[in-house]
Structure 1
Amino acid sequence: MEDNYVVILGPTASGKTALSIQLAKQTNDEIISADSMLIYKGMDIGTAKPTKEEMEGIPHHLIDIIEPDEEFSVYDYQILSQKTIREIKERGKLPIVVGGTGLYIRALTEDFTLNQIPQDEAVRKKYYEIMINKGKEYLHSLLKDKDPIAYEKLHPNDYKRVIRALEVYELSGNSIYNLQEKKHTNNNILYIGLTMDREILYKRVNDRVDIMLKQGLVDEVRALLAKGISKEANSMKGIGYKQVIEYLEGRLDYDKMVEILKRDTRRYAKRQLTWFRGMEGIYWLDITKMKKEDIITKILEKMKEKQIL
């Protein structure tokens, strides 16, 4: 069965959330999040999670679905998002997928499967001991020659995924990112990409960080740690949480923490744009050069062209 839906993508702070809500209000449809941080309950400020008031009554899916210390894979997202699309379609509504996590969007729209390489405890233990003895940076450096793709994509602090990438390479001789099989789909998808001049985007990023801090980001992180959420949890390695933890542990002063948080968020936005620029078939809109109502009109026109509306 062919699925018709819209995907609104773009870097952090590009205005995806607000635009998607306005579009859904116009078409009376529902939103599916494609954001790897919005899945966590209780992590609201650092993820720029839309509030109930901001949602304006529009149903949002795949937000607040797991606790911060629970594991959630791309495969989990793929299964849940495809199920959610079917349910929305059964209600006679159009799914509007919104987010900046490129791998989530790809898992949903391309319907790829990860060829499962079974875990080998001996191999995992070997690399874990290397990390304990020589550190995360050294462990990460081992990827440079073995799996340069994973080396570029993974941060040294994300040691669990680094170990998994090394394990997959040792067992298969392939990059974990190459072990993906794309299934043929008949989906009719309209990709809308939001963009703007780099300087404007970076200012928006910096302003967003300032707003998050005023809203109480430090207290949010402190409360999560007080609840027993480990700083090693994948959720706590997200941008915003990791830097605040370093501040709370006394490894950064406040001003330095703010500076690094803004820098890391700008770098993340740049990586997102690089990922999306590598995708085909995206209709790009510079939202700083058009009125919001004109952007909505353009999207509606494209939906009609694709026979989605």
Structure 2
Amino acid sequence: MATRIPASIASTLKTCEERGVLLARADVADARPLSRLAVAGLLVSPHPGLYARSDLWRELTPDARNLCVAKTLAALHPAWVFSHQTAALFYGLSVSYSCLGKVHYTTPCRAGGQDKGYTCHHQAKAAEWRMIDGVRVSSSERMLYDCLRSLPFADALVIADGALREGVSTREKLERYLGWHAGGRGIRYVRQVLESADGRAESGAESIARATVISLGVPIYDLQLVVADLERPGKTYRLDIVLRRSDDTLVDLEVDGRQKYELLNGPDGAVTAMMAERQREAAITAHGILVARIAAADAGNRPVMERKLRAYGVIP
């Protein structure tokens, strides 16, 4: 059983890591030790013929892993056009981790949509693509069209919000593109997602929370509403998702992520962050606005969201 990675393979691995790709079986003269190293747990093979150090692979987030495999496959298959949510990653968009089990690519060949290991192949007679970092990637509008018609509503909204927020596309360009594909599969669903998309959403968790609220039939009053701190002139706060009760009382639905409380400033960082949140909440409630908080992990949990909104009177 191998106890360490041979120097020659370690050197090749280091070169690949610096390039942000995996080691391909063809990168080494003798590939037989690679499988032994994988069995020993020193290497991991996320896709047939591709390898990475196990410790480094464990440290990568699902989006970083997806991009790493895609960039490696792009070097091996330069004619492939990476599409769907994999293309969204190349555009720098947030993608729900649950949607990143496969690397998606498109070619003119048949057998579209078939899963092969870590990849999912789609067929298109004439792929629409552009180059990003030397890799063929679906055009922004095609990427959005593919993602929005194939993903669940919340996950599609994450990508649509991000595309509008980051300027990857505009609502006008998307509407024009959809006009060219009138009658296409899933076009009605794509329009429903686009109708709810809003570039003001600041994170994927906020997009998922909003999707859950919409699924409950609750209208969105506003996003990122700015309110002033009545005790500190010039100080303002932005509210995540603003809802309105039947008595016209506004409710600020705040999506709490871990970053609000991480120890960023030494041992007192968490305390400082919590005190700042308390001060912020007091400033918001001074305007007669209720503050409801939900954890990012529960943003897509419909029963939890329903109980939360019912407790605050948003749902009777």
When normalised by structure 2's length, the TM-score is 0.21
| Structure with larger Rg | 2
The answer to which structure, 1 or 2, has the higher relative contact order (CA under 8 A, 6+ apart) is 1
Return the structure number with greater strand share: 2
When normalised by structure 1's length, the TM-score is 0.21
Return the structure number with greater helix share: 1
